[in-house]
Amino acid sequence: MTKEEQREKLLEIRNNLSTTEVKEKSKLIKKRLFATEEYNTAQTILIYISFNNEVRTKAIIKKLLAEDKRVIVPITDTEEKRLYLSELKNFEQELTPSSTYGILEPKPEYRRLINKEELDLIIAPGVGFDDSCNRIGYGGGYYDRLLASDPQVLTIALAFSEQLAEQIKTSCHDQKVEKIITDKKIISCK
C-alpha cells in the first residue's frame, strides 16, 4: 500500500464514524488532554480548528480561552504552502470559513500574527498515526514544515482510535509528534 492509499483508507475509516461517535469520542479525548501535564503547564497553545470528522476542538478552544491561556490558530497560505499563526480571543466573533478548505480561520481584522517561538504546545491534526508517533496528514505538508522549523515545541496529536495504524508510511520530510491522545489510550514517544 502506498502512502496515498494509506491516507485514503484512513480518511475513509474516519469519515465513516457517525456524528454521535465523533462527539462521544471527542469528549473522551478532551478529558484525557485536560489531564496532561503538558496541557496544564502550557500558556501559549497552537490548536487546529476541527472540520469534517476530525476530533472536535471547539470545546477545547473555549476552555483555553476561559482559562486565560493564549490560543493560537493556524491560517493556511496555499501559495507559500505554510501556516501563519494568529492569536484568537473570541471563538464566536473572530472566525470565518477560509476560501481554500472551508476551515474556520480568523477574519482579516482579527489576525494577530505571532512567531512560532512563542508557542509552548502544538495540538496538531492528522489523518493517521502509529505507536511510534509517526503522523500522516492531508498531504500538503503544512504541519510537517511547521514542526521541522521548531523541533523544541512539544506536539500532541488528537485522534480517534480508528485512526491508528500498525505502521504509518513516512517520507523523509514527515515529522513525528511526541504524544497521541485517543479515546482509548495515550501514546507517548518522548
- Binding positions are 3-7, 49, 54, 135-143
**Contact, 136 vs 127, CB < 8 A?**
yes
101: closest CA among 82, 120, 67, 75? 75
**Contact, 176 vs 132, CB < 8 A?**
yes
Instruction: Give me 138's grid cell.
Output: 492531508
Instruction: Give me 108's grid cell.
Output: 482579516
Binding site as annotated, residues for substrate = 49, 54
E strand or H helix at 86, and its extent? strand 82-88
Q: d(Cα 86, Cα 95) in Å, to the nearest integer?
A: 11
Count CB atoms within 10 A of the CB of residue 44: 17
**Contact, 119 vs 152, CB < 8 A?**
no
Binding site as annotated, residues for ATP = 3-7, 135-143
